[in-house]
């Protein structure tokens, strides 16, 4: 059978060399250098400097904040005098208000929403900064262009109950971004109804993604991923999606000087339950911005600024129409989000459990907060030499021993070291745990990130 196939293929190649050549050697995708990436906007350097001095809103240095705290800061900036109008358009499942903020006098309507996953706060911080730019710098040329060219509609913190707990889902346990079709959540309905009423030309769906995600097949972590979501399963590109791709290129042009090589494209499989996809299906040119992670940027303050600059670039391109004709290839050639690396690998230790034979193992640990290394869980135990992690601790010559904890009856017992158990263990020079050089008690001690050298 295989031989027959080979024969018929070689016969085909004799008959039709062009077809055969095309099959054997598909044209390679053009290298990144082949694409003429549009230059960064001329105002970028000045806006960057102004941001540090007079735009970054104080009080959002910690990316965990309550919705009330955010509105207390940002709501104060969205004044009538500054051209803002704010209305309550709904309530979360626990009654927290959902507020729609509008600004601008232009014909092009843009709807932006953030934090529909309550623990994804980067863009909400940037929106507070955007309010300050728009409200306190009315004569800034960029602000004047946006006021003339666009009317901005914002629904910040779509999931206030989730944000109050810094959790993904709403108070009913619903993932709002899988509720765009069913509309079972009050937050999903509010966003849907607002979109139907406004009929925006552009939509911005603002999220945070897993910090472990790599860019393509590289070892670089994705700082920001972009997507012009598809409106159908075939992932076709109509005029509306083409405009979203152009705006994505405008965003890439802003980000490239800061994070070249750390920008990826989100997977564009159509999801009929997701807001981005269904908004695109409604004919809105939709752009997804996913903030991932930058190592050392523990509170995502660098990413917050990049979000602000990216939104400024995107909105300016929309206000002035300069997105038209930007090369689609500069979007299409972004590598997709690739593998997801674990947060921490303990390499080459010896597991020493009381009463059990010692065993040479590696451990993989995943944290609830990957950047701060808090809330650890043991992902896997065994030979993990082929697994990649964002950080590795060399435990060769060390024993992995249990941490003493208090049992239900008040007696001392040992925390389990097991797959999917909370991550509690010591690294010790001896199997009895007398000479401890490093401890993980769910959270990594920021003052002792690596084992003591003594």
Give the nearest distance from C-beta 117 to Zn ion in angstroms.
4
Quick check: helix, strand or coil at residue 312?
A: helix
Give the nearest distance from C-beta 167 to Zn ion in angstroms.
12
| d(C-alpha 262, C-alpha 252), whole Å | 11
| d(C-alpha 318, C-alpha 335), whole Å | 25
- Residue closer to Zn ion by CB (options 195, 207) is 207
Strand pairing category for 374-382 and 359-369:
antiparallel
- CA trace torsion 64, 67, 73, 74 (10° rounding): 110
Are 398 and 362 in contact by the 8 Å Cβ rule? The answer is no
Where does this chain touch Zn ion (CB under 5 A) — which range of 117-125, 151-159, 386-394, 435-443? 117-125
Where does this chain touch Zn ion (CB under 5 A) — which range of 120-128, 159-167, 246-254, 312-320? 120-128
- Residue closer to Zn ion by CB (options 96, 207) is 207
- Residue closer to Zn ion by CB (options 122, 151) is 122
Where does this chain touch Zn ion (CB under 5 A) — which range of 61-69, 101-109, 184-192, 207-215? 207-215
- Which of 117, 243, 300, 323: binder of Zn ion (CB under 5 A)? 117
- Residue closer to Zn ion by CB (options 207, 214) is 207
Where does this chain touch Zn ion (CB under 5 A) — which range of 179-187, 202-210, 256-264, 366-374? 202-210
Give the nearest distance from C-beta 281 to Zn ion in angstroms.
19
Are 287 and 203 in contact by the 8 Å Cβ rule? The answer is yes
- Residue closer to Zn ion by CB (options 124, 248) is 124
CB contact set of 187 (below 8 Å; sequence gap of 6+): 90, 92, 93, 98, 116, 158, 159, 160, 170, 176
- Residue closer to Zn ion by CB (options 207, 265) is 207
Are 363 and 378 in contact by the 8 Å Cβ rule? The answer is yes
Binding string, residues 1-40; x marks residues near Zn ion by CB under 5 A? ----------------------------------------
Are 331 and 228 in contact by the 8 Å Cβ rule? The answer is yes
Q: Is the dihedral of CA 210, 214, 216, 220 positive or negative?
A: positive
Tokens of 300: 């995502």
300 sits near Zn ion (criterion: CB under 5 A): no
Give the nearest distance from C-beta 267 to Zn ion in angstroms.
14
Give the nearest distance from C-beta 207 to Zn ion in angstroms.
3
| d(C-alpha 38, C-alpha 35), whole Å | 9
Name the residue whose CB lies closest to Zn ion. 207
| d(C-alpha 110, C-alpha 90), whole Å | 20
Give the nearest distance from C-beta 290 to Zn ion in angstroms.
7
Give the nearest distance from C-beta 307 to Zn ion in angstroms.
14
Give the nearest distance from C-beta 51 to Zn ion in angstroms.
25
- Which of 96, 201, 207, 214: binder of Zn ion (CB under 5 A)? 207
- Residue closer to Zn ion by CB (options 207, 243) is 207
* Angle ∠(348,419,381) on CA atoms, nearest 5: 20
Tell me which residue has tokens 């079709």: 181
| Count of chain residues binding Zn ion (CB under 5 A) | 3
Tokens of 422: 């909370």
- Residue closer to Zn ion by CB (options 120, 362) is 120
Q: Distance between alpha carbon 304 and the CA centroid of its chain, in Å?
A: 11
- Residue closer to Zn ion by CB (options 310, 398) is 310
* Angle ∠(82,85,90) on CA atoms, nearest 5: 145
Tell me which residue has tokens 């001095």: 53
Segment 387-446, which members bind Zn ion (CB under 5 A)? Answer: none
Binding residues vs Zn ion (CB under 5 A): 117, 120, 207
């Amino acid at each position: 059978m295989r031989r027959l196939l080979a024969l018929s293929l070689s016969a085909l190649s004799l008959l039709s060399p062009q077809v055969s050549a095309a099959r054997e050697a598909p044209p390679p995708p053009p290298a990144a250098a082949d694409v003429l990436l549009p230059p960064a906007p001329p105002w970028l350097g000045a806006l960057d400097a102004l941001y540090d001095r007079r735009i970054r809103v104080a009080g959002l240095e910690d990316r965990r904040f309550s919705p009330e705290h955010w509105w207390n800061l940002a709501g104060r900036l969205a004044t009538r005098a500054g051209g803002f109008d704010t209305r309550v358009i709904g309530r979360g499942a626990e009654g927290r208000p959902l507020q729609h903020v509008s600004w601008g006098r232009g014909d092009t309507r843009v709807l932006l929403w953030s934090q529909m996953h309550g623990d994804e706060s980067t863009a909400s911080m940037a929106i507070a900064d955007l309010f300050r730019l728009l409200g306190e710098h009315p004569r800034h040329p960029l602000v004047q262009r946006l006021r003339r060219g666009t009317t901005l509609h914002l629904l910040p913190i779509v999931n206030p109950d989730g944000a109050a707990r810094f959790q993904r889902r709403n108070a009913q346990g619903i993932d709002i971004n899988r509720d765009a079709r069913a509309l079972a959540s009050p937050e999903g309905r509010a966003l849907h109804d607002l979109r139907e009423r406004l009929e925006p030309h552009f939509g911005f769906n603002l999220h945070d993604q897993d910090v472990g995600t790599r860019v393509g097949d590289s070892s670089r972590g994705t700082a920001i991923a972009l997507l012009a979501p598809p409106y159908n399963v075939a992932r076709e590109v109509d005029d509306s999606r083409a405009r979203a791709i152009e705006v994505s290129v405008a965003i890439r042009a802003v980000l490239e000087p800061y994070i070249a090589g750390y920008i990826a494209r989100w997977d564009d499989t159509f999801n009929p339950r997701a807001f981005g996809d269904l908004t695109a299906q409604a004919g809105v040119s939709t752009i997804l911005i996913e903030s991932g992670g930058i190592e050392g940027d523990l509170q995502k303050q660098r990413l917050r600024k990049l979000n602000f600059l990216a939104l400024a670039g995107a909105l300016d391109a929309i206000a002035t129409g300069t997105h038209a004709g930007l090369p689609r290839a500069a979007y299409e050639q972004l590598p997709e989000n690739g593998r997801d690396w674990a947060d921490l690998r303990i390499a080459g230790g010896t597991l020493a459990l009381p009463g059990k034979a010692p065993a040479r193992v590696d451990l993989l640990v995943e944290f609830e907060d990957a950047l701060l290394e808090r809330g650890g869980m043991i992902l896997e135990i065994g030979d993990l030499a082929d697994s990649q992690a964002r950080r590795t601790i060399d435990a060769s010559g060390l024993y992995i021993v249990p941490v003493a904890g208090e049992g239900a009856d008040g007696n001392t017992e040992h925390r389990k070291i097991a797959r999917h158990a909370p991550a509690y263990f010591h690294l010790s020079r001896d199997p009895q745990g007398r000479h401890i050089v490093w401890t993980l008690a769910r959270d990594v001690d920021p003052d002792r990130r690596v084992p003591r050298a003594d």
